[in-house]
Amino acid sequence: MRLFFAGVIVGLLIALGVAVILSVYDQQEQPAKEIVVKQISGEKIDHSKVTYTGGSIKFTTVAEGKGEIFTEIPIVNVPEAKAWLQNNNAVMLELLLLDQRMCGVSYLRRWGNFSAGGGVIVSESSFEGIKIQTQYSFSL
């Protein structure tokens, strides 16, 4: 039993170390893509001062004629951003084909790029144990 707990502790320390290292190197934000303005009719317009703060996309629109417009779009209006911000819970099902068939079910909760959770593993004949999981999401 001591060996099991030692393995769990070593696994948690390794996962925590990897998460910390990746979070330090993953801090580089990619520059935003340029806003494309296609004039259909009327005066020429230009978007400037684009910021992504406070949960929204904000920018100023200036026309060659009269007028200036400030636009604020809540990021939850972008479907992909809404899914990332609001879908923070996950259930994972797995099938392990070892000497005997085992199944597992886990629950994970996501905070930003880091997820943590746990679950159970059962075989065809008995309860095999619990598992603790961590996950770190990043781009390549």
**Higher confidence at residue 136 or residue 15?**
136
Q: pLDDT category, 7, cuts 50, 70, 90?
A: low
Per-residue model confidence (pLDDT) at position 82: 83
Most distant CA atoms of the chain, gap in Å:
78
pTM above 0.75, yes or no: no
Per-residue model confidence (pLDDT) at position 117: 92
Per-residue model confidence (pLDDT) at position 8: 67
What are 63-114's pLDDT values in tens digits? 887 777 777 888 888 888 888 888 888 888 888 887 888 888 999 999 888 8
Strands (E), the chain: 45-53, 56-63, 68-74, 89-97, 101-111, 114-123, 127-136
In the block, tokens 């949960």 appear at 55
Mean pLDDT over the full length of the chain:
79
Mapping DSSP to helix (H, G, I), strand (E, B) and coil, where does residue 89 land?
strand
Per-residue model confidence (pLDDT) at position 84: 82
Amino acid identity at 100: Q
Domain boundaries, the chain: 45-77, 88-140
Length of the chain counted residue by residue: 140
Q: pLDDT category, 35, cuts 50, 70, 90?
A: low
